[in-house]
Structure formats: C-alpha cells, structure tokens
Amino acid sequence: MDHPRAHAAPASAPAATRRNRTLLAGLVALLLAVVTGCSDSVPTAPTSEPTTAPPSPSPTPPPTAEPTAEPAAALGDHGVSAGHPAAVDAGMQVLDAGGSAVDAAVATAFAVAVVEPFASGIGGGGAALVVPTGEGAPQAYDYREVVAQDGRVPESGTGVPGFVAGMAALHEDHGELPWYEVVAPAIELASDGFEVSDFLALRMRSDYGPDAVGRLEHFSPGGEPLAAGQRLVQDDLAATMRTIADGGADAFYDGPLTEAITAVDGLDAASLAAYEVVRTEPVEGAFSDHRVLAAAPPLPGAGLVQMLQVAEAAGVAESEPGSARYVEQLSRAWQVADRSVDTVVGDPAFVDVPVDELTDPGRNAELAASVLAAGGGDDAGDVVAAPERDVVPGNTTHLTVVDSDGLMVSMTNTITNFWGSGEMVGGFFLNNQLSRFDSIGSTAANEPAPGRRSVSWSLPTVVVDGEGRPVLGIGSPGGRQIPNVLANVITRWALHGQPLADAVASPRFILEGSTLTTETRPAPEDAAAFADLGWSVDVVAVEEAVFGSVQALEVDHETGEIAGTADTRREADFAVAQP
C-alpha cells in the first residue's frame, strides 16, 4: 500500500518528483519481497510464531480463545532523517514493510555506507541510542573501533572495526524483520549504482579524496574522479554486503571476509574474533523542561550536557539567539565542556569518568556563576582558554529514525577522517579512528591500550519530555564542531521555542582560543562586542562543510505526528509517512 510521504523537497517541487520517489520505494519493496522469498540460502531470524502442537486426545476440545487485539500504535507516523536521499528511501522501505525503527536504522546505515563511502561504513564504527516510548529503558550502543590485542597503533590509525557487530547487535535486540531484508536495499544500491552527488564529487577532489580514489577504476575511470551526475557502481562492496547478509557478523569477524581484513596492518584474527559491542545507559541530564540523553563515555555526551547546563544557568534563555551575548554564553560553556573532555573523559573500561559530576546542574550553575556571568574577558574565572586550533571540516554521518510505536534511534557512524585511512578492502574504506588518541586529550584519560576505545566527537543525542518520551532525535557530522552545532540547535529549540527548521538553519559558530569561526559575518554591533572580548572573527563558506549537517526528527506525542527538516549544508533528506 502506498502512503503519502512528507519529504524535504520544497512545496513547489514538481509533483512528478514526489511520485517518482514513492514509485521507487514501491518497486524496491517489491524487489525485497522477491529476494527474501525466493532464496532458500538466505538465513532469516527465527520466527516468534510457535509450532503447532499435536491435537489433544480430549474428546471435548477447549473453547477457542478470542484473538488478542493489536496494541494501538503510539504515533500516526514513522520517519527517517539521514545524510542522503537514497539512504532515507532505504530506511522508509523497511518501515513500510513493517520493520522497527532499529530495522530501518540498520538499513539506512548500510545504505549510507554505499552513498557516502567517504564518511562511514563496514570499515568503521559508531554509536547509537535506542529510546522507547512507554515501557523499556533507553539504551546506548558503542560499536566503535578498538586497539588490537597487541596494543599497537599502526601508522594508518586503523582500529578493529565495529560497524558490522554494532548493526548485528542492534538488530538482535530490537529487529523485527529478517537480517537479510534490512541489508538488501544497500546491496541493490551498491550493485545497481547511483548518481554521484555534488558533495560526493567534491569529496573525491578535496583533501584526502584524490589519494583515496585516484587509483580506483570504479571511482576514477581513466584516473579522473567521477563527476556529479555520473553513475557509481560498487560491485566489490555489493559482494561484501551479500556475504554479511548471508552470514551475519560472523562472516566479518570469523568467516569468509576475515582473511582479507587481517592483511591490513594493525588488524589480526584474534582481535577481530574478540571484538564486543558495549551496551550501556546513555548519559543523562536536565535541560529546560526536558532531559537530554547523549552518548556515553568515551564519547562526549557528558560534555554536551554540561555545556547546555552551563549556558542555561548563565542566562542564554534571556539572550537573543545569534546575538553577541548569546554566542558568548554558548562559547564560554563550550570552553568548560571542552576542558572536561580534554582532561577527564576516556574509556570507562580503563578510567573512572565523573559523569555524575559533569552532568550535575547545581555544580554547573556554580561554574556558570563564576565563569560566565561576569561577561568573559579577564573575568572569565577558572576557564583556561583553549589553545588556538585550525577549524577544519569534520567527517562522520548521522541518522535518526522513529517508528509508529514511538521507538527512536539516534545513530552516528564514521570512519573518522574523510575517506578514513584511505585504504580499501572488499570495496569499503578502513577507519583511522585510533588517531584520536593523539588528537584529543591532554591527560592519561585517553591513551591507547589493547581493546581500548578512544575519545571522539560522535554524539548521537535524544531529548525526552517529562514523561520520558523521546521528542527530539538529533546528531550531526562535523568532528570537533559537533557539540557546538548540537548545543546551538537544542538551545534554540528547547529554550527559545524556535521551530526545528529555523533552529537547524541558523548560523553556526565555534570559539577556538580567541578566534570565533562563523558561517556568517556578524552585524557591526556584534563584531564590536567580539572585539571587546579580544576575539577575532573568521567566516567560512558553507561549502567547506565545516559545520556538518544536522539530521533530526521531532515527535509530537499529543497529535502523533513526526516532523523533520533537511539541513541544506550538505545533501540531507528526510521522509515521514503514515504506516
């Protein structure tokens, strides 16, 4: 059955465009049914339906029980927000087929790995939050890369990938559809190909792109990278995904793909076989009338909560969004959070991380009073200004999914730098995540050891209401800029009541040392205020991709409706439909 679907396309978009996408979804859904129904070799998840027992010998059979009614859906919609329209379609196809939000998130993540090969995929890792409406507790999943068992960090910075294990763990815990069915859309996308977008074409020609794809014939036929509009077909990646779809995570960690992976410096069979996904509770803290759930250490969720609480206590709700005072309050709060991440955040399997202290609103109010209320400058109190840093484009990808049961998934995946280590195996690029042991942290809290995860900036986040129901799923690529991007959007949305679309579209900024990097040139009075603080202003073009691309979905539990917005900084899309 076709459903009306709200997309990121403007209202003036041609009707044919909207019809084509709906038709494509229907065709691929049909293909899924054929693939999964006709292949006897495809493993499927065990069915939950009991086998029929032999008839009772009793001459008087018991009365037939009345069928149990299906529980009413919590919402009237379901939706997907991701970094590329084709990935959104993959997720929506799975939702339309009856899959859960986790099924759709896994499908979307594999599809993103096809259409954004520079950002995430099988050779990397990630983190996700799964937050239900109603019964059940929020869960955090960390399937990021780890140091191999010999404790050595290779020159490439490649760690043991966790992506496949993470997708399998999420599906095992929360999936409804067979594993093959949720991977199938990505297989078709890789084997059939897709048109190269402007952003992918730019990435192939920028920074690490030429070295990564210049010698790969399917990316650079004749040595020239594909241009926007040309078709990229990834047969090797499709074959790898088929192997994973057939054999599950074991195919990657202890199966037919293992030999090729262990040929890479820094990866070995024992380390692959020993890889484990971490399941834990999200970091949590009060903000406005809500609570913010964010990624657990060694990711900087506690830093984000601290940043929001310090800014709120400093009075950011009373400042005009985008004004010099607003920017200063969030930037001073960032300095506090940045220092926390730099000094005390690490892998909790190796160090004690004071999460309760970092997310304590009373303590953070005291910090705000001593550090921010005086207005910065020489009165900035205990904050030691961070060193000057170059602000560079940050990688990763984010997706948010909500199903009609109200289950929300916020997921950030990455291979770290654009194109990761630049090394390809089996059609996918490997990560350089272990480089974060060198680039983040000034203490022993973030040092490499066998099986250890590094501090990084991936930051899947969910905002819940007073009843614990998820009302906003949000995240973004952007590297070190991610906490600032999310804090700005969440502050505008939660404290200032801005529509999500306006909050996402608003100008972004980050203070590094005494340099404020922004997307727009400040008004003269704001520029003067920044000069009084001793800050210089550097304006970067949106095309430089410095400030990521927010993927967010908002839930109204009173109406049962889901809303999203497309961040135009890259090529994001979203879709909402009725199940």
Return d(Cα 493, Cα 102) in angstroms, integer.
26
**Residue 507 tokens, joined:** 């100008």
- For residue 256, give every residue at least 6 positions away whose Cβ sits within 8 Å of its Cβ, in sequence order, or none: 243, 247
Return d(Cα 375, Cα 380) in angstroms, integer.
7
- For residue 303, give every residue at least 6 positions away whose Cβ sits within 8 Å of its Cβ, in sequence order, or none: 337, 338, 340, 341, 345, 358, 483
Return d(Cα 329, Cα 316) in angstroms, integer.
6
- Can 400 be counted among the known catalytic residues? no
**Residue 379 tokens, joined:** 């009165």
**Residue 191 tokens, joined:** 């084997």
Return d(Cα 364, Cα 327) in angstroms, integer.
18
- Phi/psi for 449 (5° steps) reads -160, 160
Q: Which of 22, 158, 396, 491 is catalytic?
A: 396
Under DSSP, the state recorded for 7 is E
Return d(Cα 153, Cα 12) in angstroms, integer.
52
- For residue 223, give every residue at least 6 positions away whose Cβ sits within 8 Å of its Cβ, in sequence order, or none: 214, 215
Torsion 96-99-101-102 (CA) sign: negative
- Per DSSP, which regions of 431-514 are E strands? 461-464, 470-475, 509-512
Give, for 562, the enclosing helix (H) or strand (E). strand 561-564
Helix ranges restricted to H, 351-498: 355-358, 361-371, 436-439, 482-494
**Is 143 in a helix, a strand, or coil?**
coil
Whole-angstrom Cα Rg for the chain: 24
Under DSSP, the state recorded for 160 is B
Token match 């922004």: residue? 518
Cα→Cα distances 518→112, 322, 548, Å = 28, 11, 13
**Residue 532 tokens, joined:** 């009084």
Cα→Cα distances 282→171, 300, 391, 463, 517, Å = 19, 11, 28, 11, 30
- Phi/psi for 5 (5° steps) reads -130, 130
- For residue 111, give every residue at least 6 positions away whose Cβ sits within 8 Å of its Cβ, in sequence order, or none: 82, 84, 86, 87, 89, 90, 91, 185, 186, 189
**Is 128 in a helix, a strand, or coil?**
strand
**DSSP per position, 266-281:** T--HHHHHT---EEEP
Enumerate the active-site residues. 396
